[in-house]
Amino acid sequence: MRRVNWGRCSYAGIEARMQAFTQQRGPDTDDELWMVEHDPVFTQGVAGRPDHLLSPGAIPVVATRRGGQVTFHGPGQVVAYPLLDLRRLGIYVKEYVFRLEAAVLQVLEQAGVTGHRVPGAPGIYVSLDDPFGHRTLPRPAPGADPFKGLGKIAALGIKVSNHCSYHGLALNVRMDLEPFSRINPCGYAGLQTVDLASLGVAWTWDQAADALAERLQHHLARAIPAR
């Protein structure tokens, strides 16, 4: 899988390139992994509800073809777009999402941070009172807030067309987190968003991008179980 570094660029421009790449690829087209840092933008998934966009202000809002609700992209966030032929890789969407999350969990582990999955809520979360501890999350009581005590550090939003994936995931490294307060992140009111810097991890964007690209290439270049 070839890695392509786009650097800092607009969201609209890179989304158009992803769509064109996916529409034009053939059965022998090599898979690619695009690594990007976006200008500030709110993106709304195909099922996104307008009421989750609270107060965007001067930050543009872009409707996208990916799944999920509204999120924010901005400087200091590593965004990875795997452009894959899932059928050739031999996996379905559920397994693909699992592998994306596994890559992020392993990157966080390299940084000393323990990440967690939350059932039914794609992405990766950390325990706010003990982000470096290794205990598992307790099962929430029926009707309880599943995000209590958690902060979201990585978001997923994918699109699969004719068995080929585009869009991808975002890992918060060192960014201005204020814009997340202007939305219900990924459709969850009151969900706190964190980055590595706010947890005390002094990684650069390049460090995080290299670590994430390496883990994604490991998990997505072979048709083996990622567990």
* DSSP secondary structure string for all residues of 73-116: E-TTEEEEEEE-BHHHHT--HHHHHHHHHHHHHHHHHHTTPPEE
E strand or H helix at 192 = strand 192-193
CATH superfamily of 2-220: Bira Bifunctional Protein; Domain 2 (3.30.930.10)
| pLDDT given at position 138 | 81
Q: What is the pLDDT of residues 64-81, one digit of tens each?
A: 888 888 899 999 999 999
0.85 surpassed by pTM: yes
In Å, the largest CA–CA distance within the chain is: 49
Residue spans per domain, the chain: 2-220
| pLDDT given at position 168 | 95
| pLDDT given at position 222 | 65
Positions annotated as catalytic residues are: 186
Between 119 and 170, where is the model more confident?
170
Evaluated on CA atoms 33, 187, 182, 17, the torsion sign reads positive
Distance in angstroms (rounded) separating the CA atoms of residues 86 and 1: 13
Q: What is the pLDDT of residues 109-118, one digit of tens each?
A: 999 999 999 9
Pairing assessment for the beta strands 150-161 and 121-127 based on DSSP bridges? antiparallel
pLDDT at 209 exceeding the cut of 60: yes
